[in-house]
């Protein structure tokens, strides 16, 4: 398996623009996670899905952020409109649920810069 | 952090020495995991310890868990320059639906 795939790897945009980040989880994994990492706030869980259904989105910072998982092999994280404080590395991770043994596999991340 | 706090925040040691990192958490957990992150990369899973386990080994890694103190430690023995990275603990609540990552320890191993 190719692992978790994220695109784009780097995104530079201007304030106010819409940004869409994409993730393809490992085939067969039933959990998908979106994280944001910054120097100031560390690694934050934004939202996670189980079998394509959002379970906990309490980490989504505000209404400008939205995430979807239309099928088991694809998820998007959208920011509209983007702001400079959204600049961060966004990671997608997936896991196969085995109670007590649920390793998360991370993608390489998308480095987002909002000017 | 909502759940995990690592200490120290940064650690610098000579190659061959042992490195110990600690993690404290707040709520009851199902399991605790340690991950490593090399600069500019995604996190990579190292080891998982279940709430009913006290110690676990994997190669040069030794993890302990004290649920009464809500703490865990990661020991890397005979460190190598390639171990230079940030190390994070991660917990899953015993209700199963909450995941948290700690703030991380930045380890530098000097050749």
A82-B99-B73 Cα angle (round to 5): 120
Q: Both tokens of residue A88?
A: 């961060």
| B25 near A CB under 8 A | no
The predicted structure's pLDDT at residue A23: 98
Which among B2-6, B30-34, B69-73, B92-96 has the top mean pLDDT? B69-73
For residue B88, the chain A residues in CB contact (below 8 A) are 43
User: Which chain A residue has its CA at the smallest distance from B95's CA?
Assistant: A99
The predicted structure's pLDDT at residue B1: 42
The answer, yes or no, to whether residue B87 has pLDDT greater than 50, is yes
Choose, out of B43, B86, B100, the residue to mutate when testing the contact with A (most A CBs < 10 Å).
B43
Token pair 């600690």 is found at B22
- Do residues B19 and B36 touch, judged by C-beta distance below 8 A? no
User: Which chain B residue has its CA at the smallest distance from A32's CA?
Assistant: B99
Q: pLDDT per residue over B50-72, tens digit each?
A: 889 999 999 999 999 999 999 99
For residue B104, the chain A residues in CB contact (below 8 A) are 42-43
User: Which chain B residue has its CA at the smallest distance from A55's CA?
Assistant: B97
Q: pLDDT per residue over B6-39, tens digit each?
A: 889 999 999 999 999 999 998 888 889 999 999 8
The answer, yes or no, to whether residue B77 has pLDDT greater than 80, is yes
Token pair 């030794």 is found at B62
Token pair 């085939």 is found at A27
Q: Both tokens of residue B25?
A: 């958490």
> Which among A35, A56, A108 has the least Cβ separation from residue B97?
A56
- Do residues B36 and B85 touch, judged by C-beta distance below 8 A? yes
Number of helices followed by number of strands (H, E) in chain B: 0, 11
pLDDT category of residue B3 using cuts at 50, 70 and 90: low
Choose, out of A26, A42, A56, the residue to mutate when testing the contact with B (most B CBs < 10 Å).
A42
| B87 near A CB under 8 A | no
pLDDT, one tens digit for every residue, chain A (115 residues)? 689 999 999 999 999 999 999 999 999 999 999 999 998 888 889 999 999 999 889 889 889 999 999 999 999 999 999 999 999 999 999 998 765 557 889 999 999 999 9
Q: How many Cβ pairs within 8 Å bridge chains A and B?
A: 53
| B92 near A CB under 8 A | yes
């Amino acid at each position: 398996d190719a692992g978790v795939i994220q695109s784009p790897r780097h995104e530079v945009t201007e304030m106010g623009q819409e940004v869409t980040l994409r993730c393809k989880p490992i085939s067969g994994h039933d959990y998908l996670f979106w994280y944001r990492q910054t120097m100031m706030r560390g690694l934050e869980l934004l939202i996670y899905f189980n079998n394509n259904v959002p379970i906990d989105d309490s980490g989504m910072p505000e209404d400008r952020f939205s995430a979807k998982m239309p099928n088991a092999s694809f998820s998007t994280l959208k920011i509209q409109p983007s702001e400079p404080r959204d600049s961060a590395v966004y990671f997608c991770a997936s896991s196969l649920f085995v109670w007590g043994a649920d390793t998360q596999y991370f993608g390489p991340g998308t480095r987002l810069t909002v000017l | 952090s909502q759940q995990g706090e690592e200490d120290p925040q940064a650690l610098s040691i000579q190659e061959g020495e042992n490195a110990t990192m600690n993690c404290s958490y707040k709520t009851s957990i199902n399991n605790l995991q340690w991950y490593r992150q090399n600069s500019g990369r995604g996190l990579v899973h190292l080891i998982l310890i279940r709430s009913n386990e006290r110690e676990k080994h994997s190669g040069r890694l030794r993890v302990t868990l004290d649920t009464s103190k809500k703490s865990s430690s990661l020991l890397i023995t005979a460190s190598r320059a390639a171990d230079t990275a940030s190390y994070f603990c991660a917990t899953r609540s015993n209700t199963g639906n909450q995941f948290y990552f700690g703030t991380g320890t930045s380890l530098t191993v000097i050749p």
